[in-house]
Structure 1
């Protein structure tokens, strides 16, 4: 577009050939002057013979191969016309360049300065940091991106809103207490801890408890993500760390929260290589100095969250920097009940919330706080989809099933043969879980396809245990093999439905041999793979023994499962036929078909929260909270 504008003046001239020029203009005596431009083009200046009223003079030009050839042809033409030497057409020579030609040498410089101005404005609009009145723009790239929270308007979360992590709250409350009244501790010679690392699985509430700290502390709270220290420019990360701590010291007492600190806090030069992470390492070094170096400052607390505490640099975790290591695990059944109580306050239901929270906590073993929040939200969505006036127990149970097993695939219709195979497969699991003492208690079995590849679904309620004995592991593996074993007993050919079961069993058996010291041949030694997953800390002969021991344990679990299912073959058929008829059977159906389970349930939640078969009772009219 620019080129067309700059060259549009040439489009008004008419191009001629030499023959046309001579016949139309030169021979008729209409040429007043010729101008040779850049030794390639000749412009013809004609006499004023155009439209006299508008004073428009036609413009012509033609191209030449060389000046010598042009001059010879012009002289020859004028001689043939008998033009005297003193009256011949004057010819001038000029060198000319277009505006684009003048711009091309300086265009890269203009583009560079334009890019710098654009980047500067981009950083300014993106909040690169720095207070008002500063230099602004790209010069603020080294400023911290931490967000300062206002306790009155930005953070409304308090410790009362954080449930299921009492130990973590006690640890963090000490920081809050110190910042509110430091003299209480200092008069006894105590110093404020520099910081705390909040670690645990995703969704357990690390960021939530940091928000609650901001809400309770009543002091300036600066929040930043670890990835915001990482930039393409060298030295920016360290500069932002310095600026962050400078701002915190000016506001002290204050709290800094660095989320996902593993982005900058990983072990330095891990694996023996250097040079690839110099920028990240310089950022980490600056953080180490700021937390416990010559520039240490009182009354500034640093909280950090991470899902990967094992990858953090030891210098970062030593006393004097992160003094406290707070581990936040998935909540126990009582913790889950407390978290459900928090989220149920926002749900419209006419059920007794306390009883409902206990039942849902029992039905959701292993759930994190994020899973629980999602469960309540999913239940409300299901109820709204059904145009229900309130959320009832059925909606919550469907939400839990969806989170555990995936969405029901009602459009995936199994043919009768597949459906029968799945029913006997799931019945094998159910019978093993019912008659093995240490198997997980059964709650529900379904042969409705779920998720992307699940054709059957069984919900068990494992107890919150931290130690597993050899017998408990064997019962669990035998129950896992129950589906494939049932297929072998009732059909002429087995299917691929047990692939995931085999994977779980192999992993458990391998852990028993290499981690738990449950192999008679190998004894109490740890034979796990190296941190990289490839380096074997044992010989090929030991590896062969490991393979033999794992196979031996799996065969023993298979034999245990096979003996039980042969003994209970009639019960397997009874449960399978009930599944084919109803598609979903519950614990109550199992009791009706097989009688009460012979063993005392190891999961207290059954006796405490699930004895009421009718579900939670109503607590009056529906109230919107």
Structure 2
């Protein structure tokens, strides 16, 4: 309040004259100049005139009555001028008319006045910035004192400190190794690291060195972070967990400072474990050309990490675990032995792994029946290719569906509905198809089902539906592929034939075709292109890989083959697709009545199961190649006793 008053007073003093007491030049001329009341004239900043008046008894009273302002006993009047030359010319003219000699004329002084604020104003942004930083420091210091790891200098001076979360016996993690399933080999590797730190002398007495670190890599949702949490839950050593993105800040040098602080904390608490999640945020391969901006900061952070893991200073009994789903982009210096000695790959689980994961998640769900190996195996067989996160999502969806239907228990049908929703999308009840569209979709899906039923290497059919689901699917057929790691050329051809079954069925039953097979064409083209260009399944092209070279930005640099070879590739791809189309048309033409039978059943029921297909067509003429399907999903009456008829001779596709 006092400072504001002082500033206001100083500002008023520095102003030339109060604007309420300004007058015009004509008033000044008639009231003061022509009457000889002007003592001295000050021209201020070449735009304003202050005239000091002669002070005597009567004149003082007259001056005050005429609007003069009294400053410390001096009467002053002021007015603005447009031009100094014009003002001087008028002043000389008036004094010439009054007959005033040259030596007695009114003196004129030229003054430059500058406000003190013109000096202060350039520093205002600096003061504001410093004040903001001080306020931010004060707030952060208060928050740091209340939070974990606060206190000390705090605030802006703590920006280079590590943000790693510490887990130990006081802040225990409830996840244990028994809660992690489907990755037994990875568990053994991680458990060995824990043993290294618990009893290092057991290994050191034989001359072994404790490994510096391990990279956990694999597709999203396979349990990398969960495995690290289990390590924190099992280990009796301090566990520091940090995300790779927490090293990246807007301030230069903060990332490297946080890396130093992280390892300094770990060495003080050694033996200890550091877990860096999503390490690709700072561990990407360094650019060979000079990089600018944020890339330099990331490279500085990576360089500091490399030094801390294997520099002149030894990280005694500190193990670094890192998780990423993009190991291909990591810098080679980061992956070499001496830094990350172990590369642990966590892939999607097989049927037994999925069964173990289901057992872990089903313990939290209220089931109608006791949890058995057969129940978990049945769910595992229904979800080929699911990762741990997908399985957890399916179990949660099943519980939500059961609760939505006011059920007291979660049953198998709820899991089947949840899996169907995860795979095919939400059922679109609001999308009502016209009778013509519904008939087209029924014959389209019937074409797929019949092709798959009579092809030896097709995957087992579980369900066919013409209920719209997801964003664009008007119908779908659910198959159950097995855990297969090698695919033959004949299996590729059968999959292509089955994918073309929908379009061929439309051609055989309707005068025109629709856009329903667009996604099928895309899959067929991708399979045929991979067979020709990557898998060496073309006798004309041989065992050569023909792939376009692309740079790191995804832009094509050049084709590593000639135009003649490109034309040959196109012809070979088209030849494979045409051959699959011909075979598909032969099968559906021979089974035209059965396609009609399945389509009519779909139109009446909308959903057909495998039992419905067996009721209409009889048992499938080929033994299922998916062992999990036969073990967990095939009904007992088809799994034993009467053997399946021998497969008819079939021409190789």
Q: TM-score, normalised by structure 1?
A: 0.85
Return the alpha-carbon distance in structure 1 between the equivalents of residues 363 and 506 of structure 2: 46
Counterparts of 1:88-487 in structure 2, within 5 Å, are 95-98=112-115, 100-114=117-131, 116-117=133-134, 134-153=152-171, 155-269=173-287, 272-276=288-292, 277-354=295-372, 355-487=374-506
- The answer (yes or no) to whether the contact 1:130–1:144 under 8 Å persists in 2 is no
CA distance in 2, matches of 1:303, 1:95: 71
> RMSD between aligned alpha carbons?
3.8
Alpha-carbon distance between aligned partners in 2 of 1:383 and 1:249, rounded to the nearest angstrom: 51
Deviation at 1:67, TM superposition (A): 4.5
SS in 2 for 1:148: strand
- What's the CA shift string for 1:317-376, capped at 9, x where partnerless? 222221111111111122222222222233333233335433322211111111111112
Contact kept? 2:168, 2:237, Cα under 8 Å: no
* Secondary structure of 1:304's aligned partner: strand
Residues 1:60 and 1:338: Cα distance change in structure 2 (over 3 Å): farther
Residue by residue over 1:166-194, the C-alpha shift from the partner in whole angstroms, topping out at 9 and shown as x without a partner, is 11111110001111122222223322111
Gap runs ≥5 in structure 1: 52-57, 614-625
Distance 1:387 1:48, change over 3 A: farther
The alignment's TM-score, normalised by the length of structure 2, stands at: 0.82
2:516 match: secondary structure: helix
Distance change (3 Å), C-alpha of 1:61 and 1:590: farther
CA–CA distance in 2 between the matches of 1:592 and 1:439?
A: 20
Q: Within 5 Å, which residues of 2 pair with 1:516-527?
A: 516-527=535-546
Cα pair distance change 1:304/1:123, threshold 3 Å: farther
The residue aligned with 2:603 is: 580
- Over 3 Å counting, the alpha-carbon distance change for 1:494 and 1:180 in structure 2 is same
Matched residues in 1 for 2:623 and 2:32: separation?
118
Number of the residue aligned with 1:542: 565
Deviations 1:522-543 (A, max 9, x none): 2333333446463433333333
Q: Which has the larger radius of gyration?
A: 2
Shift of 1:253: 0.5
Kindly indicate whether the alpha-carbon contact (under 8 Å) linking 1:13 and 1:60 is maintained by their aligned counterparts in 2: no
Question: What SS class does the counterpart of residue 305 from structure 1 fall into?
Answer: strand
Matched, 1:499 2:518: yes
Would the aligned equivalents of 1:199 and 1:325 in 2 still touch at CA under 8 Å?
Answer: yes
Please say if residues 42 and 49 of structure 2, whose CA atoms lie closer than 8 Å, have aligned partners that are also in contact: yes
Task: Say which of 597, 605, 611 aligns to 2:628.
Answer: 605
Partners of 2:515 and 2:448 lie apart in 1 by 16
Distance (whole Å) between structure 1 residues aligned to residue 532 and residue 26 of structure 2 = 100
8 Å CA contact 2:367–2:409 kept in 1: the answer is yes
| Cα pair 1:514 1:528 within 8 Å, conserved | yes
Is the 2:182–2:352 contact (alpha carbons within 8 Å) kept by the matching residues of 1? yes
Gap regions ≥5 residues in structure 2: 53-61, 68-74, 637-653
The 8 Å contact of residues 206 and 305 in structure 1, kept in 2 or not, is answered as yes
1:350 is paired with a residue whose SS is coil
- Cα distance change, pair 78–514 in 1 and its aligned pair in 2 (3 A): same
> C-alpha offsets along residues 387-417 of structure 1, whole Å, 9 cap, x if unaligned?
4433333332222222211222222222222
